[in-house]
Structure 1
Amino acid sequence: MDRQYLERDPLSKRFRLSTTFLTLGLPQVGDVSLVEEALPVMRDLRDETRETVQLGLRVRDEGVIIEQVSGLHPLRIAVDIGLRFPLHNNAPGKMLLAWLNASELKETLERIPLTQDTPRTITDPKALQQECDQVRQRGYATDYAEADEGIHCISAPILGQEQQLIAVLWVSAPSKRLPKGMFASVGKQVRQSAEEISRRLIQ
Structure 2
Amino acid sequence: MTDEFTASKPALRQFELLEVMAREARPLTSAELVALLAWPRPSVHRLLVQLEAADLLRREPDSHRFALAPRLLRFADSVQAASIPQGVRHAVLRQLVAQVGESCNLTALSGAQVHYLDRVESAFPLQMELRPGTRVPLHCSASGKLFLASLAPAKRERLLQTLPLTGYTPTTLTERKALDAELLGIARQDYAVDAQEFVQGLVCVAVPVRIPAQKAVRCAVALQAPVARMSLAQALQHLPHLRQAAAALARTWG
State TM-score, norm by structure 1. 0.81
Matched, 1:150 2:201: yes
The Cα shift of 1:80 comes to 2.5
The Cα shift of 1:26 comes to 9.7
Matched, 1:37 2:88: yes
Q: Secondary structure at the match of 2:237?
A: helix
Q: Percentage identity across aligned positions?
A: 25
Query: Which residue in 2 is equivalent to 1:63?
Result: 114
Query: Which residue in 2 is equivalent to 1:11?
Result: none
The one-letter amino acid of 1:200's match is T
Q: In structure 2, what is the Cα distance between the partners aligned to 1:27 and 1:122?
A: 31
Q: In structure 2, what is the Cα distance between the partners aligned to 1:21 and 1:110?
A: 20
Q: Secondary structure at the match of 2:253?
A: helix
Q: In structure 1, what is the Cα distance between the partners aligned to 2:89 and 2:77?
A: 21
Query: Which residue in 2 is equivalent to 1:79?
Result: 130
Matched, 1:190 2:232: no
More helix by share: 2
Query: Which residue in 2 is equivalent to 1:165?
Result: 217
- Which moves more between the two structures, 19-28 or 76-85? 19-28
Spell out, residue by residue over 1:115-138, the C-alpha distance to the aligned partner (whole angstroms, 9 max, x if none).
Answer: 011111111222212211211221
Q: In structure 2, what is the Cα distance between the partners aligned to 1:194 and 1:36?
A: 15
Q: In structure 2, what is the Cα distance between the partners aligned to 1:76 and 1:100?
A: 31
Q: In structure 2, what is the Cα distance between the partners aligned to 1:74 and 1:37?
A: 26
Matched, 1:177 2:229: yes
Query: Which residue in 1 is equivalent to 2:43?
Result: none
After superposition, residues 115-154 of structure 1 pair within 5 angstroms as: 115-154=166-205
Q: Secondary structure at the match of 1:201?
A: coil
- Which moves more between the two structures, 73-82 or 104-113? 73-82
CA RMSD of aligned residues (A): 2.4
Spell out, residue by residue over 1:50-89, the C-alpha distance to the aligned partner (whole angstroms, 9 max, x if none).
Answer: 1111111111111111111111112223323211111000
State TM-score, norm by structure 2. 0.65
Contact preservation (8 Å) 2:209, 2:246: yes
Q: In structure 2, what is the Cα distance between the partners aligned to 1:25 and 1:158?
A: 17
The Cα shift of 1:32 comes to 5.5
More strand by share: 1
Q: Secondary structure at the match of 1:79?
A: coil
Q: Relative to structure 1, is the Cα distance of residues 196 and 114 closer, same or farther in structure 2, using a 3 angstrom cutoff? A: same
The one-letter amino acid of 2:118's match is E
Greater Cα radius of gyration, structure 1 or 2? 2
Q: In structure 2, what is the Cα distance between the partners aligned to 1:74 and 1:24?
A: 33
Matched, 1:97 2:148: yes
Q: Secondary structure at the match of 1:118?
A: coil
